[in-house]
Amino acid sequence: MAYRFVEGSAEAFHTRGTEFAFDGTLPFSMATWFNKDALNDTQTLMSFADPGSTTQQINLRLDTTNAVAANAPGGTAFSSTVIPTSGSWHHALGVWATSTSRSAYLNGGGKGTNTDSATSSGMTRIRLGVSADSTPFGFWDGMLAECAIWDVEITDDEALILATGVCPLFVRPENLVLYTPLIRAVRFPIDLMGGLILNDNGTPTVDDHPRIIYPSRRHIITPSVAAIVGNPYYYYASQ
């Protein structure tokens, strides 16, 4: 089951303090499936930021133009060509390749790029459904699922593969630094790769999940020990 967030109730998930080990060194990529209740409103899908700053943040969001936006301080790439519809599942991907190259994709296509110089530092917090800086903004209104971060630049071909409904564990699994399917009605979602527990803001509820192709029983998954111990997702993903 995916999680549903209500903007008016300020619902979101987040890591605690500075426990996320990845420091945001470029390149990296963020992706998620989303189902929005209403369009034409800037809202945040995933965010990676310095929790003590209002400017040091990387955001994957949906813009007022209904484009996927891959944002960094000083520059934003917007997806083009394809437009999402409310009440349906769509795939969003942001790729931050260098300080002067970032890209945004919607459903594996509509690639938009930006080459403005944009750098960030001190990023230690992940939030799902709102910005991760010191003054949260853009609370999500709708559903999120299959949130993932890689410490590499996802390619155009891989963007298409992910948008077909393939689990992130099939795409550069050795470079996944965070993956939370948001598939179980557990109290707190868990990151399969590092074992991080995502705390909630408000009380997001469960809803229907998008169709995803997961690893079969014979597919070998090797997350960290911390991710396996006490992790209700690990049993599911290894079946």
Domains of the chain plus CATH, in order, are: 2-237 (2.60.120.200)
Torsion angle (degrees, nearest 10) of CA 87, 32, 15, 70: -100
CA angle 178, 179, 184 (to 5 degrees): 140
For 169-223, how does the pLDDT look when each residue is reduced to its tens digit (9 = 90+)? 999 999 999 999 998 756 678 899 988 889 999 999 999 999 999 987 544 455 5
* Nearest CA among 121, 125, 118 for reference residue 102: 118
Q: Model pTM?
A: 0.88
3-state secondary structure of 158: helix
For 102-156, how does the pLDDT look when each residue is reduced to its tens digit (9 = 90+)? 999 999 999 999 999 988 887 878 999 999 888 888 999 999 999 999 999 999 9
